[in-house]
Each structure stands twice: as structure tokens, then as C-alpha cells.
């Protein structure tokens, strides 16, 4: 019976860790599977996503290679998706229900829930204030101490490579491969299998492992384009201190992580945008993109790491040069040290999708995916309108005008892939409201990919909230 589990959870990120934690509290036996080797710790050791074959040059899907998934890379920013985003995005779950499970999760983690909710703006203004909280925790797997939970068994450096079915629609077992020792195990699934492998990973696994879903999964990929524009000097930037990133004007690093941040947000024609004062765009952005893709340089399937190390050294010296450059020009009053960071929602576009690449396989023998992603002319027009509405709303910025042209050079994207496996009531949706894949009786999915729309809010807390809701549903369903 040692390889028999009530639930098998694929992925130890924000969704998988929360679901495993809550199900284990009901004495269920959990197998938690993650392909991360967990050897290289810290935010600076992220790599290019190992199951992505090709993507646009400006799309950078990173991979932490740590248990905890991309929660090991995030910047601890947590706040719940707003009621506006849920209503305008036509989510089939009521906001009150999302709020309820968010509150449950906050109590479980010892967080004040009112610090994660948007400010109520009684006056109808185009630009409104919202708040976010810096979490006391980073890597969610470590924070929940899942490694030491008796009824959770973690299989790191492992990936599912085959699913076995009963009557074609019920998962009865899953075969996993451990990359470290090349061993193969078959885990019996007594109740349910839950994909929590992330906004890209869920689609990658569904396309490889589930018969008949290749063309139904991975469509309408959305993301949050981050664009930094409008250079400011220190004098002008200090006027917008209220909406600055928390580290900009606070020298005491110990208090920085505990503070709440404010930013401005707006909604124009169902497009959402958040705006915050930040430092100027990273001058080594192009080098960073190249560094992420150094995993392509390999020898018989193993990455040649020295190429990445050379690029990291170049990035180090480029950043030092520009820090000195910005400091000198800031002293004499020339703009450049600070900029406004805009982060936008995106409308669903059939041209944006994830496709299975039949020619290239990853180290586990699964076909990699190709990412097709771009910003439509309609998106671009609305983004330009939002930017200039913001500039014209401030007396200090009124003389500035801006037009986004070479978007690939200005955008930073790939952090929040979403909407490619949206849930909903209609037959056109792959996933139902309880996050069950409709074709199967015991196959569930949780992550940003199930969002019906992506809004502009950082999705991590909302993912964890949906994971909480799913765990309560499973506890009730299999009681």
C-alpha cells in the first residue's frame, strides 16, 4: 500500500502547496510531485522554463527549479482580485464566494484579511487607489513546512509521464519518472488527481498526458504586460511617493517588508491597469532575456552553465555602470532614475496560445510547448489611452505625451500566464466551476490558467484562494 494515495498533486507552488496542506489536515494521504531538483536556492538562480521550446524574444517564462514553484521567485506581493475585475471579467463564481475563501485562507496563515482588499472608493474616479501587502513568507512550500508533514510524501525531481484510466474517464494511477536516479514508480490514485503545475505547466501536462484534450487546452493565453515609461528625476519622483514601490523611499530594510503598498488602478472599456512608481527600466533587460534562454545551449541534453555565468557577470557590470550613470545625472537634475510602471490586463485573443511541439522533448521525454503571444492593436490602443489619461490627470506630468511603438523592447512579460484553461458553466469551457476537467470524473486543475479573465492584480493570492476553495470542495465530495 506504500504507493497508494488518496490524492496525487502535481506541482508544489502556491496552488499545490495550499491544497496539499488543507487535504492533509483531514488525514488524507497525499503524493506531492514536482520536477524541481531543489538544488539551487534563491531568487537569483531561476532558469528558463525547461518544457518551453520556443517563445517570442520578449516573453520570458522563468522557472525556479525549487520546491514551492514560482513562489520562490515572487516579491511577496499579496492582494485579492477586486470585485470589479471579477464582475467585468464575467467570472461564473460570485465575488462573495471568492472573498469567503480568501478570508478562510488569511485566518489559516495568520494574516489580516482587510489588508488584502482594495480600498472602497465611494467617488467614481477614473484613477483609484488600491493596496497590497508584503507577505511575511516567500516560498510557500517551506512556509507551510510540507517536508515534515507525515501524510504528505514529496517526490522531487519527478514528473508524471503517463496516466492510467478506468472506463476512459477516471484516473486510477499515474506513472512518474525520477530524473535523479531514472527510477519509475506507479502511484495508485484512490480519490483524485490535481494538476497544479502553473499557468504554463498545466497545459503542458494536459496536452501530453490526457487523450483528446490537445486542441481543447492552451487557448486564449493572456498575461500581464509590464511596461516602464516616463523617466523622472528624484525631485519629481518624490511628488509620487505615495504610490511608489515600498523599497524606493524607505531605507530601513527590516520595516520595508512589513509595509503596505499603494498603487493607482483604472478600468477603461474592461481593460484594467495598475500604475506604480518604480526605478527606471533595467538596462540589462536584453541580457537578462538571453541569460534565461541559455538553457538552450546544451551538450547531450545537459545545459552548458558557463555561458549563463558569463552573461551574469556582464549583467553585473552593466548594472553598476548604469547605477553610476543615473546617480550623476540625477544629481544635476536630469530625468532618468525613476519611471512609472504600468501593468495591464489583456483581452482574450485566439492568436495567443500554447501549442505542443512534436519534434522536441524535455528530459522526461514529454513534448515541449511553443508559446504564441503578442499584443493586439486593440490592446495597444487602449494601453496608449490609459497612459496618456494618467499623464494628463496630473499637473506635474501634463506636458508629457507618450506612444507605445516598439512594444517588444519596452514590455516585460511572462510572469503571469493565465486564462488558457478557463473555468465556466457553458460547454465551451474545459473546466467546470469546481475546477474539475469536465471530461474526467476525478481530474482537477488549479492555477492562473483557470482564470476566466486576468485583470491586473498579481494572481498569487487569488490562486491560493481558489486552491483553498477546491480543497474544501474535495473534502466534502470525498467525505
Say what the pLDDT of residue 118 is: 74
* Contact (CB, 8 A) for 460 and 137: no
The domains found in the chain, sorted by start residue, are: 1-107+138-222+351-373+418-479 (3.50.50.60)
Averaged pLDDT score across all residues of the chain? 86
Nearest CA to 403 among 376, 381, 379? 381
* Contact (CB, 8 A) for 225 and 344: yes
447 DSSP assignment: S
Say what the pLDDT of residue 5 is: 96
- How many whole angstroms separate alpha carbon 304 and alpha carbon 240? 45
pTM metric for this prediction: 0.90
Q: Which SS3 state, helix, strand or coil, does residue 61 take?
A: coil
pLDDT at residue 436 tops 80: yes
Share of the chain above pLDDT 90, in %: 50
Sign of CA dihedral 44, 50, 56, 59: negative
Say what the pLDDT of residue 406 is: 64
Cell 487569488 belongs to which residue? 462
Nearest CA to 10 among 426, 366, 262? 366
Cell 480543497 belongs to which residue? 471
Sheet holding 271-279, edge to edge: 77-78, 127-134, 260-268, 271-279, 338-344, 226-232, 411-412
Decide which of 402 and 168 is more confident.
168
- How many whole angstroms separate alpha carbon 299 and alpha carbon 117? 49
| Tens-digit pLDDT profile for residues 325-342 | 777 777 776 777 888 889
Q: Which SS3 state, helix, strand or coil, does residue 371 take?
A: strand
| Tens-digit pLDDT profile for residues 339-367 | 888 999 999 999 999 999 999 999 999 99
| Tens-digit pLDDT profile for residues 221-264 | 999 998 888 778 888 888 888 888 877 776 555 554 456 788 88
Say what the pLDDT of residue 137 is: 80
Question: If pLDDT is split at 50, 70 and 90, which confidence band does 299 have?
Answer: very low
Say what the pLDDT of residue 17 is: 96
Cell 541580457 belongs to which residue? 287
Cell of 338: 525613476
- How many whole angstroms separate alpha carbon 29 and alpha carbon 37? 23
Phi and psi, residue 379, nearest 5°? -55, -50
Amino acid at each position: 500500500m506504500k504507493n497508494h494515495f488518496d490524492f496525487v498533486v502535481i506541482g508544489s507552488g502556491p496552488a499545490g502547496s495550499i491544497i496539499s496542506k488543507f487535504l492533509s489536515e483531514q488525514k488524507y494521504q497525499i503524493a506531492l510531485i514536482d520536477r524541481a531538483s531543489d538544488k539551487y536556492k534563491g531568487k537569483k538562480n531561476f532558469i528558463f522554463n525547461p518544457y518551453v521550446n520556443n517563445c517570442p524574444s520578449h516573453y520570458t517564462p522563468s522557472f525556479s527549479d525549487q520546491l514551492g514553484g514560482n513562489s520562490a521567485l515572487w516579491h511577496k506581493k499579496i492582494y485579492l482580485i477586486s470585485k470589479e475585475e471579477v464582475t467585468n471579467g464575467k467570472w461564473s463564481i460570485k465575488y462573495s464566494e471568492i472573498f469567503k475563501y480568501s478570508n478562510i485562507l488569511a485566518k489559516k496563515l495568520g494574516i489580516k484579511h482587510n489588508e488584502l482588499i482594495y480600498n472602497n472608493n465611494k467617488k467614481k474616479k477614473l484613477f483609484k487607489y488600491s493596496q497590497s501587502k508584503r507577505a511575511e513568507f516567500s516560498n510557500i512550500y517551506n512556509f507551510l513546512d510540507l517536508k515534515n508533514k507525515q501524510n504528505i510524501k514529496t517526490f522531487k525531481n519527478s514528473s508524471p509521464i503517463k496516466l492510467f484510466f478506468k472506463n476512459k474517464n477516471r484516473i486510477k494511477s499515474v506513472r512518474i519518472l525520477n530524473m535523479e536516479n531514472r527510477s519509475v514508480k506507479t502511484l495508485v490514485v484512490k480519490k483524485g488527481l490535481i494538476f497544479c503545475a502553473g499557468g504554463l505547466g498545466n497545459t503542458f501536462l494536459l496536452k501530453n498526458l490526457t487523450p483528446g484534450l490537445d486542441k481543447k487546452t492552451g487557448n486564449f493565453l493572456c498575461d500581464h504586460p509590464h511596461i516602464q515609461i516616463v523617466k523622472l528625476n528624484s525631485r519629481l519622483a518624490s511628488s509620487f511617493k505615495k504610490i511608489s514601490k515600498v523599497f524606493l523611499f524607505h531605507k530601513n530594510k527590516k520595516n520595508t517588508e512589513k509595509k503596505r503598498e499603494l498603487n493607482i488602478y483604472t478600468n477603461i472599456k474592461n481593460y484594467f491597469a495598475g500604475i506604480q512608481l518604480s526605478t527606471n527600466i533595467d538596462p540589462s533587460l536584453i541580457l537578462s532575456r538571453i541569460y534565461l534562454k541559455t538553457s538552450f545551449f546544451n551538450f547531450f541534453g545537459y545545459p552548458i552553465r558557463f555561458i549563463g555565468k558569463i552573461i551574469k557577470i556582464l549583467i553585473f557590470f552593466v548594472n553598476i555602470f548604469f547605477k553610476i550613470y543615473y546617480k550623476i545625472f540625477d544629481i544635476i537634475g536630469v530625468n532618468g532614475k525613476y519611471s512609472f510602471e504600468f501593468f495591464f490586463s489583456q483581452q482574450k485573443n485566439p492568436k495567443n496560445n500554447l501549442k505542443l511541439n512534436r519534434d522536441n522533448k524535455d528530459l522526461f521525454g514529454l513534448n515541449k510547448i511553443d508559446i504564441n503571444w503578442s499584443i493586439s492593436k486593440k490592446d495597444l490602443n487602449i494601453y496608449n489611452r490609459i497612459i496618456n489619461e494618467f499623464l494628463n490627470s496630473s499637473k506635474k506630468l501634463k506636458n508629457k505625451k507618450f506612444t507605445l511603438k516598439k512594444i517588444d523592447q519596452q514590455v516585460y512579460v511572462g510572469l503571469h500566464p493565465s486564462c488558457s484553461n478557463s473555468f465556466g458553466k457553458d460547454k465551451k469551457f474545459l473546466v467546470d466551476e469546481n475546477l474539475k476537467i469536465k471530461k474526467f470524473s476525478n481530474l482537477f486543475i488549479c492555477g492562473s490558467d483557470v482564470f476566466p479573465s486576468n485583470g491586473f492584480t498579481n494572481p498569487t493570492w487569488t490562486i491560493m484562494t481558489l486552491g483553498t476553495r477546491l480543497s474544501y470542495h474535495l473534502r466534502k465530495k470525498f467525505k
